[in-house]
Amino acid sequence: MEYSTFGRHVAVDAWGIDFDLLNNAEFLQSHMVEAAEACGATVLSVQSKQFEPQGATVLVLLSESHLSIHTYPEKGFAALDCYTCGETVDPQLAIDYMLSILKPTAAHAKKLVRGMGELQVEEPKMKQIELV
């Protein structure tokens, strides 16, 4: 079997998110696992950290690569990214799921196409969600 090096990496800066959503590692972990499953990925392990006085990081290790979030509740900011290898798992679906949960007032995203030679940077086709 020959393996492809093709992958897609979606990174999003999301602003205007409720402090309490961003400052709850347990809540974020639960939804990050659901986001991974929603995009068809296979979850291998999950690690999360609640920081003091605020902030959280959640890393979801996927068979296809990873999904992560780093939060700054005091700024209403979350940095999300999802990288998946292969053609079958779409990282954009995981990102869209998380944005629908977090409901930012603004989100800025880029998509990298990786493993094909020179990196390609694209504007991702984000699901139209209602930004509050």
All domains of the chain, ordered by start, with CATH?
7-122 (3.60.90.10)
At residue 64, the pLDDT reads 94
Check if 45 is active-site.
no
Check if 48 is active-site.
no
At residue 1, the pLDDT reads 55
Active-site residue identified among 9, 31, 65, 82: 65
Q: What percent of the chain has pLDDT over 70?
A: 92
Strands of the sheet with 120-122, listed across from one edge: 43-50, 56-62, 65-72, 77-85, 7-15, 106-114, 120-122
User: Among positive and negative, which fits the CA dihedral 116, 9, 68, 1?
Assistant: negative
> Who's near 76: CB < 8 A, 6+ residues apart?
15, 16, 17, 18, 19, 22, 104, 105
Q: Measured between alpha carbons, how far is residue 84 from residues 32, 40, 56, 114 in Å?
A: 14, 10, 22, 10
Check if 70 is active-site.
yes
Active-site residue identified among 9, 31, 82, 85: 85
User: Residue range 20-37: average pLDDT?
Assistant: 98
Residues 66-106: pLDDT tens digits? 999 999 999 999 999 999 998 899 999 999 999 999 999 99
